[in-house]
Amino acid sequence: MTRSIIAALLFAHAAPACDARAESADASKGSYAPGLADIMIMTQVRHAKLWLAGDVGNWDLADYEIDELKEGLEDVVKYFPKYKDVPVGQMIEGTIMTPIGEVEGAIKARDRARFVAAYNNLTAACNTCHQSANRPFIVIQRPTGSAFPNQSFAPKRP
């Protein structure tokens, strides 16, 4: 009985502290914005997966990846229109969005040759953007293999 009372008192004393931590965690959820590098790393992953899917004609996955890549870049424009005096938002809109549209068109047409050309243009645009942003050391290229051994990029056949 004494142990139960002690346990109840300890719990009653600790509960307000737990509630305070939970409230502060909830409050911080609304204010989180990813860093530019976080978004760009995911953009690099999407760029790689886009190639792996399009290369084997998995147009559904390629369509998903280009949409996610575009969405991430739209977040960059939204959260980082200017970063360290570099007009990142304008650069993305002026340099990257047209090649993304070309890739989208190739995917919708399910045209591998057109996809390869559009993907190469997108990759070149990424590198142009990095150079213009004083980040010439970030060089994007077509993947030479998959970094995702736990994912099949082959299209599902009906």
Kindly report the number of other CB atoms within 10 A of residue 96's CB atom: 21
Please report which confidence band the pLDDT of residue 99 belongs to, taking 50, 70 and 90 as the band edges.
Answer: very high
pLDDT at residue 34 in the model? 85
Specify if 75 maps to a domain: yes
Please report which confidence band the pLDDT of residue 32 belongs to, taking 50, 70 and 90 as the band edges.
Answer: confident
Specify if 30 maps to a domain: no
Please report which confidence band the pLDDT of residue 29 belongs to, taking 50, 70 and 90 as the band edges.
Answer: low
Q: Tell me the C-alpha distance between 63 and 61, whole Å.
A: 5
Please report which confidence band the pLDDT of residue 33 belongs to, taking 50, 70 and 90 as the band edges.
Answer: confident
Specify if 1 maps to a domain: no
Name the pTM for this structure. 0.79
Specify if 79 maps to a domain: yes
The answer, yes or no, to whether residue 136 has pLDDT greater than 90, is yes
Specify if 145 maps to a domain: no
With residues binned 3-state (H G I as helix, E B as strand, rest as coil), the percentages for the chain, rounded to 5, are 70, 0, 30
Specify if 81 maps to a domain: yes
Please name the residues in contact with 7: beta carbons below 8 A apart, sequence gap of 6 or more: none
Q: Tell me the C-alpha distance between 51 and 18, whole Å.
A: 47
pLDDT at residue 157 in the model? 74
Specify if 154 maps to a domain: no
Structure-block tokens of residue 3: 């142990």
CATH number for the domain that contains residue 126: 1.20.120.290
Specify if 93 maps to a domain: yes
- Tens of pLDDT, residue by residue over 66-95, are 999 999 999 999 999 999 999 999 999 999
pLDDT at residue 158 in the model? 66
Please name the residues in contact with 15: beta carbons below 8 A apart, sequence gap of 6 or more: none
- Tens of pLDDT, residue by residue over 10-23, are 444 444 444 444 33
Domain that residue 50 falls in: 36-132
Strand partners, 100: none
* CB 155 within 8 Å of CB 60: yes
Q: Tell me the C-alpha distance between 154 and 37, whole Å.
A: 30
Kindly report the number of other CB atoms within 10 A of residue 119's CB atom: 23
- Total domain count for the chain? 1
